[in-house]
Structure 1
């Protein structure tokens, strides 16, 4: 986990510049075909288009591993996170639903 977490945190710090009137949030996508989790940072300046920057692909396809990574990211950055492809799944430790309903583009 150290390698994946280090890469994600490093790339977040490069993209998260804390500009005024700009929304930042993370997006985690469950790629069930390749059995990977993909991380993106989405940046939306006011009045401009959304920019989605790929951060990293986690190849360890276990929800418990992903939950630990998410918890460590949230310790350092208190960003909002959207989840895609996790409908009906629960976190192994917290036992909370990851994604309650599908998004329009899913």
Structure 2
């Protein structure tokens, strides 16, 4: 397990407290201008506002590296991973489209 995955997993474990009728997911945002990726832990209880907690900034700005980080995170957690800022980009190894839909703020 590399350093970025360990940091994300440790911070996620500290933040994750299962509550009934709640939704939990990870969000990875591509910061084109800064040249890094941000990872957030999002959760929302039914009828309440979304809460987004920054977990880590991945400074290695390479899709191949991010693909290995995502793969390792998927091995550690069952949370859904949502991607923002990756429109029209493909994973280098699997050649799958990263983000299917474009959000209004892109």
2:12 is matched with which residue?
A: 12
Q: Which residue of 1 aligns with 2:50?
A: 50
What displacement does 1:6 show?
0.8
Query: Root-mean-square deviation (CA), in Å?
Result: 1.1
Query: Which runs of structure 1 show a deviation greater than 2 angstroms over 4 or more consecutive aligned residues?
Result: none
Give the number of aligned pairs: 106
Q: Could you tell me how far 1:101 is from its partner in structure 2?
A: 2.3
**1:14 to partner: Cα distance:** 1.1
Please tell me whether residue 100 in structure 1 is matched to residue 100 in structure 2.
yes
How big is each residue's C-alpha offset from its partner over 1:38-68, in whole Å with a ceiling of 9 and x where there is no partner? 0001110111100000000000000010000
Structure 1 residue 98, shift from structure 2 partner: 0.1
Distance in 1 of aligned mates of 2:17 and 2:70:
20
Name the TM-score, length of structure 2 as normaliser: 0.95
Q: Which has the larger displacement, 30-39 or 1-10?
A: 1-10
Alignment-derived partner of residue 69 in structure 1 = 69
1:19 Cα shift?
1.3
Normalized against structure 1, the TM-score is what? 0.95
